[in-house]
Amino acid sequence: MLAVGLVYNDLGIERGVIHFLQDTPPYDDIYMHLLDPLEIPLCCSTIHLQDANGRPRTCIAVGTAFISRNEFEASAGRVIVFSKSVGSSLPVVTMMTETNGAVYDICDMNSCLVCAVNHAVHVYSVRSLRSNYLV
C-alpha cells in the first residue's frame, strides 16, 4: 500500500487528503482520508511497530500541520498512524496525537516514533497498536 498526501482548495479553505493506493500497477485508489480543514499533510513514512501480541506490523505514519496565514511557523499539527484493519485491505487510524508544531518527518526507533516538529525533535513512546494514543 502506498500513501500520497495532497492539498486542495475547497471554497477558499485549504484542506489535506491522504490517498492510499495499491502498490502495484495500475495504482488504484484503495481509500481516501480527509484531514481537518486548514490541516495539510507534510510527510508520509513507512514505520515498523509491534502489535499487542508482539508481532511486527508495518504502518504508515503521516505528519501534518494546521496552517494559519498569521503564523510564520505552524503552531499545531498531528501525527496520525494508519494500519490495515484485520480481515480487510483498508487502512484505519490506529494512533494519533496532536503536536505543538508542524510535523516534518517521522521515523521509528526501538518502539518509539521520532518526529521532527518545527525546529525540535520529539520522541513518542508507542505502547501498543491497540492503545490508540502516543505518549
Q: How distant, in Å, are the alpha carbons of 22, 44, 78, 102 from that of 118?
A: 31, 16, 12, 5
**pLDDT score of 86 more than 80:** no
Q: What is the pLDDT of residues 22-68, one digit of tens each?
A: 888 998 899 999 999 999 999 999 999 877 777 888 899 999 999 98
Question: Domain map of the chain by residue range?
Answer: 2-125
% of the chain with per-residue pLDDT over 90: 52
- Structure confidence at residue 131 (pLDDT): 52
How much is the pTM?
0.88
- Structure confidence at residue 129 (pLDDT): 47
Mean pLDDT of 82-88: 82
In a 13 Å sphere around the CA of 84, the CA atoms on its Cβ side amount to: 14
